[in-house]
């Protein structure tokens, strides 16, 4: 959206009443600074009072828009099948109570046979997997369908987390069991531009910032814009490609390993300028695999 149109509500909410009040005060006190005829003095004070009152009334009636908190999708990883609770039973994944600006998704997956074929680079979202948008007013129910899944070996399961490019605050992944986790690029790509005709269009990328136990940190990037900075790690080699498939190919097989504890969380976010995520297109599919203690 055009920045001028975006700021129009604020201009109406603040500037017009302010100008009217100031103009009314100037007219009202003008006779004290200039020699005017009695009739002119009365007119200046009368119109000054009227304009000032109108400005005050508008200031009381026109309220600036209140920004709605952006939803942050939360995925809860399943407790690995080979991790047991102190009583000897497998500890189930638990769903925490969502806050007012948090949408919770329970990521429950099961062990399957080993898959020898490589993971496809194009992973369309499951028809039953909720697609979250930052302008959603009502968070989805915590009870949701199973996420897509892939496997690395018979004892490990990879939960697939879609990181949509329009989610400015990224997605949060809650860890339910302590151990070593591999965070991998699985497929797909996104573009910070809405279409090819958009000014400055450079194509597609797969850059994902990774934050451990903290939300996205914003600051001035190397490009001089306000964006995600000081991440713990990242996926994707960087760069933009006009061919989406080329962007996907450059990141195939990229992964990072972290030692995490139960109760930790990981925040995943795409790269763009703060406040400009709303018109982005695409997503990146990230896999998180429990590798053991």
Domain of 165: which CATH number?
Answer: 2.60.120.10
**Does one domain contain both 53 and 143?**
no
**Tens digits of residue pLDDT in 167-220:** 999 999 999 999 999 999 999 999 999 999 999 999 999 999 999 999 999 999
The 8 Å CB, 24+ separation contacts for 214-218 are: 214/267, 215/72, 215/169, 215/170, 215/172, 215/267, 216/168, 216/169, 216/170, 216/267, 216/269, 218/274
Domain total of the chain: 2
Task: Write out the H or E segment, with its range, that includes residue 244.
Answer: helix 244-251
**Tens digits of residue pLDDT in 47-72:** 878 877 887 887 777 765 555 556 78
Taking residues 113-117, what's their average pLDDT? Answer: 36
**Does one domain contain both 229 and 107?**
yes
In a domain, 67, yes or no: no
**Does one domain contain both 57 and 76?**
no
Position 96 scores a pLDDT of 36
Given a cut of 50, is residue 90 above it in pLDDT? Answer: no
**Does one domain contain both 29 and 86?**
no
**Does one domain contain both 54 and 165?**
no
**Does one domain contain both 118 and 257?**
yes
Position 95 scores a pLDDT of 34
pTM value? 0.58
**Does one domain contain both 146 and 95?**
yes
**Residue 181's domain spans which residues?**
72-292
**Does one domain contain both 243 and 185?**
yes
Length of the chain in terms of residues written: 293
**Does one domain contain both 135 and 259?**
yes
State the chain's mean pLDDT as an integer: 74
**Does one domain contain both 181 and 139?**
yes
Task: Write out the H or E segment, with its range, that includes residue 61.
Answer: helix 38-61
Band (pLDDT 50/70/90 cuts) for residue 155 is low
**Does one domain contain both 222 and 165?**
yes
In a domain, 66, yes or no: no
Taking residues 74-100, what's their average pLDDT? Answer: 53
**Tens digits of residue pLDDT in 242-266:** 999 999 999 999 999 999 999 999 9
In a domain, 270, yes or no: yes
């Amino acid at each position: 959206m055009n920045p001028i149109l975006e700021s129009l509500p604020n201009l109406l909410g603040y500037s017009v009443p302010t100008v009217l009040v100031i103009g009314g005060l100037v007219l009202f006190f003008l006779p004290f600074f200039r020699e005017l005829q009695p009739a002119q003095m009365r007119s200046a004070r009368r119109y000054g009072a009227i304009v000032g009152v109108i400005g005050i009334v508008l200031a009381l009636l026109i309220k600036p828009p209140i920004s709605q908190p952006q939803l942050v999708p939360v995925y809860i990883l399943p407790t690995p099948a080979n991790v047991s609770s102190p009583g000897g039973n497998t500890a189930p994944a638990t769903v925490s109570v969502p806050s007012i600006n948090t949408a919770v998704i329970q990521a429950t997956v099961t062990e399957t046979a080993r898959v020898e074929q490589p993971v496809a680079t194009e992973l369309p979202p499951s028809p039953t997997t909720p697609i979250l948008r930052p302008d959603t007013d009502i968070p989805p129910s915590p009870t949701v369908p199973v996420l897509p899944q892939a496997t690395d070996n018979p004892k490990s399961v990879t939960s697939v987390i879609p990181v949509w490019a329009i989610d400015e605050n990224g997605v949060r992944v809650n860890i339910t069991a302590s151990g070593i986790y591999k965070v991998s690029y699985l497929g797909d790509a996104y573009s910070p531009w809405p279409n090819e005709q958009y000014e400055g269009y450079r194509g597609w990328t797969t850059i994902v910032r990774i934050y451990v136990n903290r939300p996205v940190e914003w600051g001035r990037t190397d490009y001089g814009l306000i964006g995600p900075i000081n991440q713990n790690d990242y996926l994707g080699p960087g760069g933009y490609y006009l061919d989406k498939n080329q962007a996907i190919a450059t990141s195939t097989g990229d992964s990072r390993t972290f030692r995490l504890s139960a109760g930790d969380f990981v925040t995943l976010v795409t790269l763009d300028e703060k406040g400009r995520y709303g018109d982005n297109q695409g997503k990146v599919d990230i896999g998180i695999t429990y590798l053991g203690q």
